[in-house]
Amino acid sequence: MSLFKRLFTTLRAGSISSDEWDQIRNMLIASDLGVKLVDEVIEKVKSIKPDDAVLAITTHVKGWLSSKNRKLLNSESLNTVLIVGINGTGKTTSTAKLANKLTMSGNKVLLAAADTFRAAATEQLQTWAQRISTEIVTGEINSDPASVAFSAVTKAKTENFKYLLVDTAGRLHTKQDLMDELSKVVRVISKQSPVDEILLVIDATTGQNGINQAKIFMEAVGVTGFIITKLDGSAKGGIALAIEKQTGLPIKFVGTGEQISDLDEFDPEAYIAGLFD
Ligand code: GDP
Give dist(CA 85, CA 157) in Å, integer: 26
Residue 249, pLDDT above cutoff 50: yes
Residue 205, pLDDT above cutoff 80: yes
Average pLDDT score over the chain: 91
The pLDDT of residue 176 is: 85
**pTM for this prediction:** 0.93
Start-to-end Cα distance in the chain: 8
Residue 255 CB less than 6 A away from ligand 1: yes
How far is the centre of ligand 1, averaged over its atoms, from the C-alpha of 134 (Å)? 20
The share of the chain scoring above pLDDT 90, in percent, equals 65
The pLDDT of residue 48 is: 87
Residue 1, pLDDT above cutoff 50: no
Mean pLDDT, to the nearest integer, of 117-145?
Answer: 95
Give dist(CA 74, CA 82) in Å, integer: 14
CA atoms within 13 A on the CB side of 108: 11
Choice among 80-89, 104-113, 125-134, 163-172 with the minimum mean pLDDT: 163-172
| Ligand 1 nearest atom to the CA of residue 93, by list position | 7
Residue 134, pLDDT above cutoff 60: yes
Strand boundaries in 157-259, DSSP class E: 163-168, 197-203, 225-229, 251-255
Give dist(CA 141, CA 1) in Å, integer: 42
The pLDDT of residue 259 is: 96
Give residue 104's pLDDT band: very low, low, confident or very high (50, 70, 90). Answer: very high
| Ligand 1 nearest atom to the CA of residue 255, by list position | 23
Which mutation among 83, 93, 251 tests ligand 1's pocket best, with the greatest number of atoms within 8 A of CB?
A: 93
Strand order from edge to edge, sheet including 79-84:
135-137, 109-114, 163-168, 79-84, 197-203, 225-229, 251-255, 263-265
What string of DSSP letters covers 238-276?
A: HHHHHHHHHH-PPEEEEE-SSSTT-EEE--HHHHHHHHT
Give residue 234's pLDDT band: very low, low, confident or very high (50, 70, 90). Answer: low
| CA angle at 84 for the pair 82 and 86, rounded to the nearest 5° | 170
Give dist(CA 185, CA 111) in Å, integer: 15
Choice among 208-212, 235-239, 248-252 with the minimum mean pLDDT: 235-239
The pLDDT of residue 171 is: 78
Give residue 28's pLDDT band: very low, low, confident or very high (50, 70, 90). Answer: confident
Mean pLDDT, to the nearest integer, of 223-235?
Answer: 88
Q: What is the pLDDT of residues 45-72, one digit of tens each?
A: 888 888 888 888 889 999 999 999 999 9
How far is the centre of ligand 1, averaged over its atoms, from the C-alpha of 171 (Å)? 15
Residue 30, pLDDT above cutoff 60: yes
The share of the chain scoring above pLDDT 70, in percent, equals 98
Beta bridge partners of 228: 202, 254
Residue 87 CB less than 6 A away from ligand 1: yes
More confident residue, 69 or 220: 69
Residue 170 CB less than 6 A away from ligand 1: yes
Residue 235, pLDDT above cutoff 80: no
**Cβ atoms of 268 and 65 closer than 8 Å:** yes
